[in-house]
Amino acid sequence: MIELSSEVKKLGIYLTYATVGEVHVEKDRVDVAEYTKKIINEVLERYTLESLTRHPIVKAYRRFMWRLGIDPTKVRPSSEALVRRILRTKSLRNINNVVDSGNFASIETLVPIGIYDLAKLRPPLLLRYAKRGEHFLPIGGREEVLKGNEVVLADSEKIVHIFPHRDSIYSAVSEETKSVLIVSAGVPAVPKQLAIEAVKKTINYIKVFASGRKESEVVVVD
């Protein structure tokens, strides 16, 4: 389902993914809100902004982004951004039970996770360098024109993710979503077992909070 271009393979990137079916997407679930409080408390007990910056997994993603010529203090890996938001605001906004499941797993492992509506994807998917001038429409943001130094995940029609920090509105999970693709982003110095754990945690949360079934095996692509 997902392949890596020869150019990005040279960067030491890898992806870990799985699918889950029969999900029931909902907003404003009491159990998700309660679990969010638990996650927030764990983050506040475990990290400060300074200790987060020194964490080896956070440092690995930052080093990778610098290699691409992207300043990770301005464009943060999604996992770091989630934890920093909690540390700064002592809160975490709930989106829906499926997206929140990925956020929980990402916060716990510090591995960036994307969740995509399978029905909105046009396989095969390829992780590759962006082409200069390509357009990307992020969730909750304005359309961006890419410079060509970004690494992107694209299907046969569109870019669905800028690695490892932002997803597209075109493949976003909605209340009509029934099946999802879960992808974790791996870079050098991030153990593959941790990326696998991030996907498995996401699957388990989706099963608990969104009644997900029929999960696939976890696949590593490198």
β-strand 2-4 against 125-129: which pairing, if any?
Answer: parallel
pLDDT of amino acid 171: 98
pLDDT of amino acid 42: 99
Q: What is the mean pLDDT of each run of 10 residues along the chain (222 residues)?
A: 97 98 98 99 99 98 95 96 98 98 99 98 98 96 95 97 96 98 98 99 98 96 97
pLDDT of amino acid 175: 97
**Is the peptide bond preceding residue 138 cis, with omega within 30 degrees of 0?**
no
pLDDT of amino acid 117: 99
Which of helix, strand or coil describes residue 141? coil
Residue 126 amino acid letter: L
pLDDT of amino acid 55: 98
Neighbouring C-beta atoms of residue 90, cutoff 10 Å: 11
Ramachandran class of 26: left when φ > 0, alpha when ψ lies in -120 to 50, beta otherwise? beta
pLDDT of amino acid 30: 98
- Asked if residue 209 lies in contact with residue 20, where contact means CB atoms within 8 angstroms, the answer is no
Residue among 154, 173, 215, 163 nearest 18 (CA): 215
pLDDT of amino acid 157: 96
Q: Where are the domains of the chain?
A: 2-221
The correct CATH number of 2-221 out of 3.40.50.150, 3.40.50.1860, 3.50.40.10, 1.10.101.10 is 3.50.40.10
pLDDT of amino acid 110: 99
